[in-house]
Homo-oligomer: A and B are copies of this chain.
Amino acid sequence: MNTIIVKTPVTRHLGELFSKNGLSKKTVVLFDENTRNLFGSELLDLLTEQGFQWLDLVVPAKETSKSFNTANKLYGKMILADVDRSWNLLAVGGGVVGDLGGFIAASYYRGIPIIQLPTTLLAMTDSSIGGKVAINHPLGKNLIGFFHLPRLVLIDPAYLKTLPMREIHAGMAEVVKYGFIADRDFLFRLDRHFSEIIALEEPFVTDAIRRSAEIKSDVVEKDFREESGLRATLNFGHTFAHGLEKLADYRYLRHGEAVTIGMVCALSLSHGLGYLNREELDQGVRILRKFRFPHGLVQRRFLGESSESLLEYMLSDKKKLDRKLRFVLLKSLGSAFLLEETVEDHHVLKAITEAKELFKKALAC
């Protein structure tokens, strides 16, 4: 499984961390334009000081970098620099760089080790962990990829200080999600220390990240290839969130914002189907509200559309393949499961409508 190190400043210890984990000091460093500008020179200087041989590569900081064309260009630069199987690849950035770097490392010379150095909250707590790497095909996102576990995930919470506030809030949705699905104590710790975490104060922010990364890693270890249904619980709130993202045509809203709304719906469905009691439903919504509900356009989009139209978008790829929606529900705060049975549409509609009411009521508080 991945070794996860949470440390500030992690880059001063790369030499020692690589050696301890059996990694060579020959590394391809993949940045996006932002991380190259913000941390590039300093990081490369540190690598040189610590005796590394490195090749630095940069891609635009956008989803379109996760393409065959970009991968092919990067392979070419690596071949010309005589990068061989004794090298490894260090990906410095958010989800795009992590996914693309993982894809390249998985496939170059039939696989070289990948080390993740995530710089966004979402990458630190989710995408850098678990070994799902992919690029996009013109016909769909993340369709071409592999399972290629990182040898090392190096998390330095200090990088979060470079992020805009909206990014932090959106990223917190996945952090709170880990509490909901797997750790009640953690959920209430997040609740208690909300203001310190959101202000990136130590040790609270490090605890939040470390525990999230641990939960993700544990779940992945137990169900690497998504066979038992356990890994699927990481998608709590996501069935609703994907519908909302499609409804909004992936504009105006961050993934984390859609997930927050999705979790309100999933809590409501868990209660509606008799799994979660009323008190825990209310507590859950209160915690999500505290970590901030999305506002402005995103909020209006959710509250303004009919429940039927959200369900329609949730179902849109499923219908033509004659597939059913699958839901992750809570039995209690801190304990999720994948529901095997099909949920009838009227239950889903009721849960969405109820979620809107809960959302509005919470906003009014």
Task: Give A residues with C-beta under 8 Å from B.
Answer: 68, 72, 75-76, 79-80, 82, 84, 106-111, 132, 134, 137-140, 143-147, 320-321
Q: Report the minimal beta-carbon distance from A286 to chain B, rounded to whole angstroms.
A: 37
Q: Report the minimal beta-carbon distance from A71 to chain B, rounded to whole angstroms.
A: 8
Is B110's CB under 8 angstroms from A75's CB?
no
Q: Report the minimal beta-carbon distance from A203 to chain B, rounded to whole angstroms.
A: 36
Would A79 and B146 be within 8 Å (CB), given that A68-B68, A68-B72 are in contact? no
Q: A111 to chain B: which residues have CB within 8 Å? A: 146-147
Q: A109 to chain B: which residues have CB within 8 Å? A: 143, 145
Is B108's CB under 8 angstroms from A75's CB?
no
Name the one of B82, B106, B137 contacting A320, with C-beta atoms under 8 angstroms.
B82
Name the one of B82, B108, B143 contacting A144, with C-beta atoms under 8 angstroms.
B108
Is B68's CB under 8 angstroms from A145's CB?
no
Would A80 and B139 be within 8 Å (CB), given that A72-B68, A132-B110 are in contact? yes
Name the one of B75, B82, B132, B137 contacting A79, with C-beta atoms under 8 angstroms.
B137
Q: How far is the CA of A75 from the CA of B139 in the complex (A)?
A: 9
Q: A76 to chain B: which residues have CB within 8 Å? A: 137-139
Q: How far is the CA of A109 from the CA of B107 in the complex (A)?
A: 15
Contacts A/B (CB < 8 Å), 23 sampled? A68-B68, A68-B72, A75-B137, A75-B139, A76-B137, A76-B139, A79-B137, A79-B139, A80-B139, A82-B320, A82-B321, A84-B321, A106-B146, A107-B107, A107-B144, A107-B145, A107-B146, A108-B143, A108-B144, A109-B143, A110-B132, A111-B146, A111-B147
Q: A108 to chain B: which residues have CB within 8 Å? A: 143-144
Name the one of B79, B139, B143 contacting A143, with C-beta atoms under 8 angstroms.
B79
Q: How far is the CA of A335 from the CA of B139 in the complex (A)?
A: 51
3 nearest CB pairs, A to B: A79-B139, A110-B145, A107-B144
Is B321's CB under 8 angstroms from A72's CB?
no
Q: How far is the CA of A84 from the CA of B82 in the complex (A)?
A: 37
